[in-house]
Structure 1
Amino acid sequence: MGIGDVSKRVLLGRKLRSSQLGETLLPKRIALPVFASDALSSVAYAPDEIFIMLAVAGASAYAWSWKIGLLVALVMLTVVASYRQTVHAYPSGGGDYEVATVNLGRNAGITVGSALLVDYVLTVAVSISSASQYAAGAIPALVGHEATAAVVAVALLAAVNLRGVRESGTFFAVPTYLFMLAILGMCGYGVMRLLAGDLPEAESADLVIEPAAGWEGPLGQVALFFLLARAFSSGCAALTGVEAISNGVPAFRKPKSTNAATTLLLLGLIAISMMMSVIVLAKQMSIRYVDPHELDRLRTAGGDALPEGYEQHPVISQIAAGVFDHFPPGFYFVVTVTGVILVLAANTAFNGFPVLGSILAQDGLAPRSLGSRGDRLAYSNGIVFLAVLSMLLIWIFDAETTKLIQLYIVGVFVSFNLSQLGMIRHWTRHLRTERDPAARRKMVRSRAINTFGLTLTAVVLAVVLLTKFIAGAWITIIAMLVFFLVMRAIGKHYEEVELELAADEQDKVMPTRVHAIVLTSKLHKPTLRALAFAKATRPNVLEAVYVDIDSRATNQMLREWDERRLDVPLKVLHSPYREVVRPIVDYALEIRRANPRGVVAVFIPEYVVGRWWEQLLHNQTALRLKGRLLFAPGVMVTSVPYQLESSQAARDRRRRDDHRVKAGDLRRGRVVRDDDQNQVGR
């Protein structure tokens, strides 16, 4: 086993057989943190965004916060109910993409696919960037290096997911459940103190928020509507990640659809409870929260500017500090698990993106490598692709959440709308043929749910585009367009290749003649073996080819050839510019042009070495030559290997490694004991 294999096994663990795929499926208790961490983690920033938007008109606008929260909760419940219909109707894991493709056509499916791919990338970038900002606030050494820390976190997260879905799910389950316990416990204790009348005010309660420029004075109906629409669209960031479960149905244990639907319901109820509790407590504790880039709008009660270096803590942090004012460990617990969950939230994308990529690859809309499972039965190429794109985005935007958040949720609401429309057509089509009254009633109810869901998500999409387009949503739309065009181009390429490669009767026609040439650099064992093998193929014409770049070496070669009295003619190609590859390629093409229906067979002797550095010392000309000849029509290239002693030593090492007893082999039944109690490899 080479050093590369050892590193891979240490990083990813032992390989899994294809028959072990069932062992990687998730029970509901693990599936919930795996697929719901993104939606649940939005509690850490969705309420903040609502208060930031309302703060534009001053603290008096906070009176609308709980109403906006209820509206966001209504949309979430509707989306959850809609996706419960989807996981039952389309349990294959295609989710929104499959629904749109089957019911609305290929272009609609590609649109949904591009929207979801962009949203998954943004999910990782936003979550990890937000976590890096939390980390920089706690660790001063990271200030100014947030992007680097975020990139490292993405790499570590990708490595964990490469070990397999079940392993990553188990790894993420504990922190996700701790986050639920922390937020619900904090809010529950806060409500108890509220009812008891001793709930303290937040640390920012004594501050005054100055309205932003243009928002001073009483608000008109149009201005108020626009303000609430902006706050609502920002709060809808809480809905991101809901769709991941519909794409991850194949990862659930049987009954897959039922377990996925149950997980969706649990996700919706928990996320809504957490979000509304945070919003209500923030309002009751008189929190004052503005855009971090506009801290100058915060003033003291006397109207004075805040001291230099004032740090505005997130909403959850301020609530925890107030609720646990006499119990500091409670505060640190809440803040710590919140920071951790923001990192783990990206895990939802690392589970959804690879599955979607594999489905797109199966449909010929993405590189087929995305549809291949790795050693641990995870879609490794999709995980790596997502990690690279996320790292690039984080680096470009310097891990600034306030910039990335403007690109968020556009893609997911595009997929929401097309998915709901597709489900409506799905139920309508089945109602035409269904005659069972009970089944028809169920279909009518499901269609009504999807219709209501389409209405709400269409309104939200319109609001998001209206309020966020100039702020950065246009970048997301361009990215979706790029993915759309790339997938269309890939699909067209695969279709053209399939037509071009379709077998017909002409493919059975034998070539009129085979002209074989054996490349010769020296008259040694590899050359003689290549000549012998070429003879065994019985070509019509066989000759050896030597490139003359040194007259003295050429004369020596001709003398040796004559002395051995080989029955194969030696063709010398003169190369005035000391090139080796070009004369051979030109000669092969010349033979091909002289006989278009014939085949030119080129035999290349190659050394087989056992050490990686030896490969750098041999076969370089052969590699370049094969690369050139691949583009020559009618030219076939055959490598004739000659094993050096180092290759034999490498085989012996592998053989010894295969028979060596490793940790865990006895438990797995891979070794037996002889009479002397010695362990012997099977």
Structure 2
Amino acid sequence: MISSIKRFLIGRPLKSTALGEQKLSKTKALAILSSDALSSVAYGPEQILIVLVTLGTLAFWYSIPIAIGVLILLAALILSYQQIIFAYPHGGGAYVVSKENLGVNPGLIAGGSLLVDYILTVAVSVSAGTDAITSAFPSFHSHKVVIAIIFVLIITILNLRGLTESATILAYPVYLFVLALFILIGVGLFNVLTGKVSPDLSAPLGTPVAGVSLFILLRAFASGSSALTGVEAISNAIPNFKDPAPKNAAKTLMAMGTLLALLFSGIVFLAYYYGISPRAEVTVVSQIAEETFGRNGMYYFIQGTTALILILAANTGYSAFPLLAVNLAKDKFIPRMFTIRGDRLGYSNGIIILGVASILLIMFFEGQTEHLIPLYAVGVFIPFTLSQTGMMLKWIREKPTGWVPKFIINTTGALISFTVTIVFFLTKFDRVWPVLIFLPLIIFIFHRIRRHYEAVGDQLRITTCEPAVPIEGNVIIVPVAGITHVVENSINYAKSLSPDQIIAVYVSFERDDEKKFEEKWKNWQPDVRLVTLHSHYRSIIQPLTKFVDTVEHKASESNYQVTVVIPQFIPKKGWHNILHNQSSLLIRSFLLYRRNVIITTVPYHLKK
């Protein structure tokens, strides 16, 4: 039944040879890898205005030069990540660049930041989209945590079905959002040019504003730069592209940067010219749409596609998180299970872990994840800064043809990204301070995992491990609970291994039972030695493990191997297991960690 449900939700398994069919075209990749960056248009311009409104509405004209600064940073990041794509065509993005050029720990800082950031991407995006839906339908507000979890489950299942299938489904809402905003911006600009919007709604550029300072402008710039989250995702996901992967990834990155620049600048300009002020209950995009179209079908189309893109922005995390995890796992910093492809050829373990972690985050914050946005943004700008700095060192060290313009681009990106990071720490320390705790903790865990893998490899390597001691014989212990076909099956198997060294062990709770069983055994299996152990506290495990330890100690002196053969019957139906004590599983669990004891389970399958 479980297998049938899995097949229904995920689909039939794909052969490994079908991997090429799961690669993404530029059109589909743009949709699923750009959804996070494009969705930030819905809140990035608003973040600028939220800071400027503290100076009054006259200060809104500063949103124009601030937006230009954001666009300069965007251009530097796009050009830089294009260079990263061609320099590191196997993916990994900021993690690989930082590790190879700055060292292991900077690489782990970048990788750890992005892993956490992709979890935050899913939680924040889905919660924001859910808020948009519950704003339109207030009766659902009390169920927003459940709704958000359902959305996470749906996106998780879609991604488990494979890249191509999920991209085909999720591409439509993304492109509808882009179309809706282009229509909004186009009609809005037409209204401005034709004089339908009064110029008196906005203060002229250059209007003096009392109380303005460089610190406030930098704070607004840093807040607006939150619109650039997700820009790095394409460089992490190069292996998902059709060949030639680096070339297609670079073109997709440029298309994403162009769309993001046009949409961001359009919304900022319209918000300024319309004199839009940020309001808690209505978003800036919603206000622009209402001013442009009124409350008609077009307005609701824009609101609907905005809610969808906010939810689907989570898909960027599902596309980039598993591939980043693969790179970390190959370097032995996280469990190797992240390198395993699932039935549909996706890295399903990474997809499932991301979904579970996001759901836990949504439940912990009860869907109120908007306070995580600064942490979410600073978690991106730390890798931005490290990757740009790493590329600077790469160009200085290698000095390839035409390296100076590339160096200037990376230097510009590094300085601006570092400035944004510092401003976040200075202005929103109360929300970003957890990064100072979880990053060192994550790096410590990374190193502990790698140390474990190195220790395991060293112990398993034939050239370095201790030579195996030759085995002279085998002592077989068979725990028995009665005279049954299950025990008979196990005794017969034990005889096939070592007919002269078999010890049957019976643990009794009552003295009378002990004597009766000894008599029955002598009549049934006279050639097999029986040892009876009395348990004063009605425990099977304690006397049995003590006996096994005693036998193992004596056997090791003669280079004999101790094998415990555990009889176990297997019910015909799975639910029947809850009707039995599962003593065999308990014995196996306790004996499994005995260093020189081999555990063998002999199953006996019941027929009804």
TM-score band (shorter)? Answer: over 0.9
* Contact preservation (8 Å) 1:53, 1:231: yes
* Contact preservation (8 Å) 2:511, 2:534: no
Aligned residue pairs, count: 601
* Superposed CA offset, 1:478-524 (max 9, x none): 22232222212212222222223332574332134422111211222
* Contact preservation (8 Å) 1:410, 1:473: yes
Quick one: distance in 2 between partners of 1:96 and 1:616? 50
* Contact preservation (8 Å) 2:459, 2:465: no
How does 1:396-415 map onto structure 2 within 5 Å? Answer: 396-415=364-383
Of 531, 551, 565 in structure 2, the residue corresponding to residue 603 of structure 1 is 565
* Displacement of 1:259: 0.4
How does 1:614-625 map onto structure 2 within 5 Å? Answer: 614-618=576-580, 620-625=582-587
Alignment-mate amino acid for residue 413 of structure 1: F
Quick one: distance in 1 between partners of 2:603 and 2:72? 68
Of 478, 491, 501 in structure 1, the residue corresponding to residue 437 of structure 2 is 478
Task: Confirm whether residue 545 of structure 1 aligns to residue 495 of structure 2.
Answer: no
2:138 — aligned with what?
140
Quick one: distance in 2 between partners of 1:192 and 1:66? 19
2:102 — aligned with what?
104
Quick one: distance in 2 between partners of 1:99 and 1:23? 29
Quick one: distance in 2 between partners of 1:447 and 1:533? 71
* Contact preservation (8 Å) 2:33, 2:316: yes
* Contact preservation (8 Å) 2:60, 2:272: yes
How does 1:194-273 map onto structure 2 within 5 Å? Answer: 194-199=192-197, 219-220=210-211, 224-273=213-262
Of 638, 655, 658 in structure 1, the residue corresponding to residue 600 of structure 2 is 638
Quick one: distance in 2 between partners of 1:505 and 1:258? 46
* Contact preservation (8 Å) 2:130, 2:147: yes
Counterpart of 2:564 in 1: which secondary structure? strand
* Superposed CA offset, 1:144-177 (max 9, x none): 3333322222222212211111111111101100
Quick one: distance in 2 between partners of 1:234 and 1:429? 34
2:524 — aligned with what?
564
1:653 — aligned with what?
none
1:528 — aligned with what?
488
Counterpart of 2:132 in 1: which secondary structure? helix
* Displacement of 1:594: 2.4
Identity among equivalent pairs (%): 38
Alignment-mate amino acid for residue 272 of structure 2: K
* Contact preservation (8 Å) 2:510, 2:534: no
Listed as ranges, the gaps of 5+ residues in structure 1 are 209-216, 293-311, 432-439, 647-682
* Contact preservation (8 Å) 1:598, 1:634: no
* Contact preservation (8 Å) 1:48, 1:289: yes
2:329 — aligned with what?
361
* Superposed CA offset, 1:269-310 (max 9, x none): 1001001101111111111225x2xxxxxxxxxxxxxxxxxx
Flag the 1:499–1:15 CA change in 2: closer, same or farther, 3 A: same
How does 1:17-32 map onto structure 2 within 5 Å? Answer: 17-32=15-30
How does 1:368-383 map onto structure 2 within 5 Å? Answer: 368-383=336-351
Quick one: distance in 2 between partners of 1:233 and 1:28? 30
Alignment-mate amino acid for residue 265 of structure 1: M
* Contact preservation (8 Å) 1:33, 1:176: yes
1:68 — aligned with what?
66
* Contact preservation (8 Å) 1:397, 1:404: no
* Displacement of 1:618: 4.1
* Contact preservation (8 Å) 2:473, 2:561: yes
Of 270, 284, 288 in structure 2, the residue corresponding to residue 315 of structure 1 is 284
1:167 — aligned with what?
165
Alignment-mate amino acid for residue 543 of structure 1: I
* Contact preservation (8 Å) 2:59, 2:209: no
* Contact preservation (8 Å) 1:96, 1:418: yes
* Displacement of 1:394: 2.1
1:514 — aligned with what?
474
Quick one: distance in 2 between partners of 1:113 and 1:362? 13
* Contact preservation (8 Å) 1:200, 1:322: no
1:584 — aligned with what?
544
* Displacement of 1:351: 0.9
Flag the 1:314–1:116 CA change in 2: closer, same or farther, 3 A: same
Aligned-pair Cα RMSD in Å: 2.1
Flag the 1:372–1:505 CA change in 2: closer, same or farther, 3 A: closer
Counterpart of 2:316 in 1: which secondary structure? helix
Quick one: distance in 1 between partners of 2:525 and 2:146? 67
1:421 — aligned with what?
389
Flag the 1:505–1:150 CA change in 2: closer, same or farther, 3 A: closer
Alignment-mate amino acid for residue 593 of structure 2: F
Quick one: distance in 2 between partners of 1:367 and 1:540? 44
2:125 — aligned with what?
127
Alignment-mate amino acid for residue 460 of structure 2: L
Task: Confirm whether residue 487 of structure 1 aligns to residue 466 of structure 2.
Answer: no
Counterpart of 2:402 in 1: which secondary structure? helix
* Displacement of 1:540: 6.3
Quick one: distance in 1 between partners of 2:50 and 2:73? 21
How does 1:645-664 map onto structure 2 within 5 Å? Answer: 645-646=607-608
* Superposed CA offset, 1:105-134 (max 9, x none): 211111111110121111112211211211
Quick one: distance in 1 between partners of 2:87 and 2:606? 60
1:9 — aligned with what?
7
Task: Confirm whether residue 628 of structure 1 aligns to residue 587 of structure 2.
Answer: no
Alignment-mate amino acid for residue 478 of structure 2: V
Of 566, 575, 579 in structure 2, the residue corresponding to residue 613 of structure 1 is 575
Flag the 1:39–1:565 CA change in 2: closer, same or farther, 3 A: closer
Quick one: distance in 2 between partners of 1:200 and 1:121? 44
* Displacement of 1:218: 6.1
Quick one: distance in 1 between partners of 2:304 and 2:425? 34
Quick one: distance in 1 between partners of 2:499 and 2:99? 52
Counterpart of 2:321 in 1: which secondary structure? helix
* Superposed CA offset, 1:70-111 (max 9, x none): 110110111010000001111112111111112222111111
Counterpart of 2:589 in 1: which secondary structure? helix
* Contact preservation (8 Å) 1:603, 1:638: yes
1:176 — aligned with what?
174
Counterpart of 2:544 in 1: which secondary structure? helix
Flag the 1:143–1:339 CA change in 2: closer, same or farther, 3 A: same
Flag the 1:527–1:507 CA change in 2: closer, same or farther, 3 A: farther
Please say which of residues 566-575 and 386-395 is displaced more in the overlay.
386-395
* Contact preservation (8 Å) 1:515, 1:539: no
* Contact preservation (8 Å) 1:397, 1:403: no
Quick one: distance in 1 between partners of 2:370 and 2:487? 66
* Displacement of 1:201: 9.0
1:649 — aligned with what?
none
Flag the 1:565–1:400 CA change in 2: closer, same or farther, 3 A: closer
Please say which of residues 115-124 and 558-567 is displaced more in the overlay.
558-567
* Superposed CA offset, 1:556-596 (max 9, x none): 32222222353111111111222112111110011122243
Counterpart of 1:411 in 2: which secondary structure? helix
Counterpart of 1:143 in 2: which secondary structure? helix
